[in-house]
Amino acid sequence: MRKIHTLNSKSAKVKKNLKYPVIDADAHVLEGEWAVLDFVKQVGGAKMVKKLEKYGRPGYTKKHRSMFWAAPSGKYTIDRATCMLPKLYAERLEDAGIDFAIVYTTYGISANQIRDDEERQVLARSLNMLYADMFKDVSDRMTPSAVVPTWTPKEAIAELEFAHSLGLKTITISGEVRDAVPEVAKVSKALGEKTQRVTSICMEPRNGYDYDPFWKRIMELGMLPAGHAGSQKTARRQSPNCYSFNRLGTFSVGNEFFARSLIFSGVCRRFPKLKVAFLEGGAGWAAQLYNDLMEIYEKRNIDWIYEHQDPSKLDVELMEEMFDRYGHRPYLSKKQWRKSPDLPQSQKVETRPMNDWEASGITSKKDIRDQFVPNFYFGAEADDIMTAVAFNDKLNHFGVKLKAIFSSDIGHWDVPDLSKVLHEAWELVEKGLITEEDFRMFTFENAAEMHYSMNPNFYKGTAVEGAVEKLMAKKKQQKASASAAE
């Protein structure tokens, strides 16, 4: 018989020295296309199968070099089989040093950007039925995430509720919609298909859709949404030949757009207990956005701009004096300045909203911290050195540590050997980039808290149930003590 275990792997050795379980916040399943199409046939009929086969895999375009040769092979063939067979997957988690894994789609990552409504919705439903069936016998070690398309609030709620009825406990969404430019599509549908408009599902969504009922239903069902869509196939990532060029930074860009939209649209204000995961982009972009928000607020809050940038407060006499004294060219004379004293970027009349932060409800830097830090979680892969910035409390405003979550990405090309993922993450400790306590937060506490906070029953019946319950009871006690002290 072929060997299926990596005896005494480096990751297993790391795991033996830990006094807590390891939760993988983002592993992947590799779907056999025949299995997907079997469920597509059940949901949409034979015609839908032919339609999918005709137009290719989700999000496929001839102009864009998509992922290729990206599944384990050669001496890692066992890892490919592992990611296709849940029972084998659950058995081999020990080799990776993992106690419990949340498993995400591969086939459906681009499903949200299928423009045909029926095709998009049928594929999502088919995948969710497949995942519910595939993983039901290994629920103590793994749980799959549902694919929920978000082109309209109505379709999003419908698939969210269906996934919940299947027993799925978390969802994969895209924070953006990429449809045709309406003005072009109105003239010619064929020409419209060659165009792309990117809109947020929270910040000024297309057609004026109101997604609040979707966020509300998410809270009612306790199903944490994970943004798991990059920016490939959008402008600046359209190389027809170089996949690596298209891939670099794609999830960071997609996640940053989604997170920024959640803040400025006021979703975080209206749903303060909503937890959101941003996967596969690491934590580097998150630290950048968090600190950028703080710094732009300093100079673009409404009080500051009225005090320091209001054109009506311009000292005209001082301006004239300076142009008179230093205007050393005819076009820099006081006379010329008087003809056009207003700069284009300093108009006196502004008909659009002046307070960029109004919808968010943010009136201080503390508000930014309180909306961003408790509720956003950032999937960082084992070999990502930038994970360290999430835990750098000397770097991040208010001395906070952002909530990075260990995300193996097992099943994809960047993980050629699943037995090494936990060890690769541990190297951050060995290099002195994070502490052992940070590692505990990274590999256990943040992911435990993330899902438990949305659904206290998320880990019921799993291998980590007891440890999670103990952790959350401790956190509850600490919070109560802190409140009493105040």
List all residues 6 or more positions away from 347 whose beta carbon is below 8 Å from its beta carbon: 311
Q: Which residues of the chain have pLDDT under 50?
A: 59-60
pLDDT at 301: 97
- The count of domains in the chain is 2
Residue 21 and residue 254: Cα distance in Å, rounded? 30
Tell whether 348 is covered by a domain. no
43-87 per-position pLDDT tens digit: 999 999 998 877 655 544 557 788 888 888 999 999 999 999 999
pLDDT, residue 483, reads 80
State whether 181 and 328 are in the same domain: no
Query: Residue 130 domain-assigned?
Result: yes
For residues 75 and 36, state if they share a domain. yes
Same domain as 405, residue 287: yes
Structural domain of 153: 19-300+367-468
Residue 4 within any structural domain of the chain: no
In a domain, 9, yes or no: no
Residue 356 lies in a domain: no
Residues 381 and 388: their CA atoms lie apart, in Å, by 12
In this structure, what CATH number is given to the domain that contains residue 434?
3.20.20.140
pLDDT at 1: 66
Note the pLDDT of residue 410.
94
pLDDT tens figures, 432-484 = 999 999 999 999 999 999 999 999 999 999 999 999 999 999 999 998 888 88
DSSP string, 179-237: E--HHHHHH-HHHHTT--EEEESSSS-GGG---HHHHHHHHHHT-EEEE----TTSTT-
Domain shared by 382 and 273, yes or no: yes
Alpha-carbon torsion (352, 355, 356, 361), positive or negative: negative
Does 323 share its domain with 278?
no
Phi and psi (nearest 5°) for 67? -60, 135
Based on the domain organization, do 106 and 52 belong to the same domain? yes
Identify whether 358 is part of a domain.
no
Do 201 and 323 fall into the same domain? no
Confirm whether 357 is domain-assigned: no
- Whether residue 224 is found in the same domain as residue 132: yes
DSSP secondary-structure letter at 23? E
Per-residue pLDDT at 60: 45
Within-domain flag for 266? yes
First-to-last C-alpha distance (Å) of the chain: 63
Q: What is the DSSP letter of 145?
A: P
DSSP 301-355: SHHHHHHHS-GGG--HHHHHHHHHHH--SGGGSHHHHHH----TTS-S---S-S-
Q: Are residues 188 and 294 in the same domain?
A: yes
pLDDT for 312 equals 87
